[in-house]
Amino acid sequence: MPEHNLQSIAFPTLADAQIAEFGRCTSAVSKIYRDGETLFEVGDRNFKFHVIRSGEVDILDYSGDVPKSVTVHLKGGFTGDISHLTGNPSVVTAVAKGDCEVYEISSDALKQALNQCPTLSDIVLQAFIARRQLLRQSSDFTGLRVIGSRYSQDTFRLRDFLAKNHVMFTWTDLETDPDVDKMLKQFNVTEADTPVIACSSMLLLRNPSNRELADRIGIRHPLDREVYDLVVVGAGPAGLAAAVYGASEGLRTAVLERTAPGGQAGTSMRIENYLGFPAGVTGSELTDRAILQANKFGARIAISSAVTSLAFDNSYCLVQLDGEDPVTTKCLLVATGVDYRRLGVEGEQHFEGRGIYYAATPTEAQMCRGAEVVLVGGGNSAGQAAVFLSGHASKVLVVIRGNDLYKNMSSYLARRLEQIPNIEVLPNTTIERMNGNGQLSSVEMLNHKTGQERTVRTPAVFTFIGAVPRTDWLPAEIERDNKGFIRTGQTLSQSPHWNSPRQPFLLETSRPGVFAAGDVRSDSVKRVASAVGEGAMAVKFVHEYLKEM
């Protein structure tokens, strides 16, 4: 979308009647701020939403070396962005520019208004999405600072965690940034301290864990100690769909996610076969919108909440979290998805995060710009990644074990790979060995049909092979197939763990009230649309189960 169109969507002007409607639809408080007074500051939690009735409000970015004005809201403008719905801290500061009068509205009241006033909801939600998009595209917005080496696994881990959670940040590479020495002195740290996280002139953390980072920057929201109607484990497409439908239908719904929303689909740079998006949609965009929907309807999404085990107390599920109190729920949906398999080749263990990657996003693309890269896999995820990487790497070698690219990849995508000049498909080939001193430098490959060996100098191997379900935390009561995927449906009525006189629902496991959806489910169709459909369908069965309690 052209930037001028995005600007008009991001910063609309409400008519007098729409301003008055905000006053009627919410428990708005009319308030006057004097010149220079702060309405909210960067880092504030549960900050207020403001509709400008008169005067001006300056939106300031303090994340860089000097404060910058992002925009000035005039009469009919309104403050805020998606943080109002996600509960994350404000990324900017709002200051009255001259005396101004505003309607001040809490985040809870705003959510209520968005659900009850569809006209206002469309304007506000589109503005929130566009504002965050403009900030991400801006070269002037610094956000958090990550200072660390491209050869550090922890630097990559932190960058990957922030990127997947859609936290805006700027990376300073120890190896290439000319100002790195000045920056290290500014924060009074050495190279040995890195990676470090900073904001503006403040040092926040030295090589934190993902949970420590999530806590410090305010994106982690522990759940209330209450009994939920539905807890969803996993925030991929299936889990987010269940959260949207469950919360919108009045169920007390919570989502537990160990790393970041979106799952594997969230890292896709282009999904072209998802219904309703003929021009394609990125996994990140789809995830952003799903999170907004879920939050708008009142679902609770807990990031960096790793589930370690599941137990039962009569008809209730007790979901144990790593280092936290268990979460109690009447129904549980397992939507943990899958992990890509490791290649299992010599030298592989030394290079994860330092040359071996399991997603192809801008974070990984920065590591291999202009270089020759190797991509292993022949499914749609591999195809989408190859197309994306072809715009950054000098050459992409697509390695497949079989001899037919069309066997597991959609034909439109396979044809596109064949048409891109800097993509080369290597059939009947496997990687035999990886080499490098701390950082991957080359791989040795073998063509099993011809016996030809080939060594390729490369800083990056992207692997998209097979899938391992995330089910190791489940008890024996939840039956799985011989590959670890969760079994569901009527055949489980013969299971020794099934203790109900009725037949299991389509997505129900061997334990009544526990459901599975998406890639983690045995015999599921491994497509985004299918996962979304199963997540939505599971909520119907949850309602049926709750009638029995």
Kindly report whether the global pTM for this prediction surpasses the value 0.85. yes
Which of 138, 143, 139, 33 lies closest to 88, judged by CA? 143
**Could you tell me the end-to-end alpha-carbon distance of the chain, in angstroms, rounded to an integer?**
50
Residues in the chain: 549
Contact 33, 96 (CB under 8 A): yes
Which amino acid is present at 333? L
Helices (H), 297-370: 362-365
Give the model's pLDDT for residue 4: 63
DSSP 51-77: EEEEEEEEEEE-SSSS-EEEEEE-TT-
Give the model's pLDDT for residue 394: 97
**Domains, the chain, with CATH or none:** 3-137 (2.60.120.10), 144-217 (3.40.30.10), 227-339+467-548 (3.50.50.60), 348-463 (3.50.50.60)
- For residue 474, give the 3-state DSSP assignment: coil
Give the model's pLDDT for residue 21: 87
Give the long-range contacts of residues 39-43, CB within 8 A, separation 24 or more. Answer: 39/79, 39/94, 39/95, 39/96, 39/102, 40/79, 40/90, 40/93, 40/94, 41/90, 41/93, 42/89, 42/90, 42/91, 42/92, 42/93, 43/89, 43/90, 43/218
Which of 142, 141, 143, 144 lies closest to 205, judged by CA? 144
Which amino acid is present at 294? A
Pairing mode of beta strands 429-436, 327-334: unpaired
Give the model's pLDDT for residue 96: 97
Mean pLDDT for back-to-back runs of 10 residues, the chain (549 residues): 78 93 83 97 92 96 89 96 91 96 92 87 94 88 93 94 93 92 92 94 93 94 91 97 97 96 88 88 91 94 95 95 94 94 87 92 90 96 95 97 93 96 97 93 96 96 92 97 96 94 97 97 93 98 95
DSSP state letter for 48: P
Give the model's pLDDT for residue 510: 98
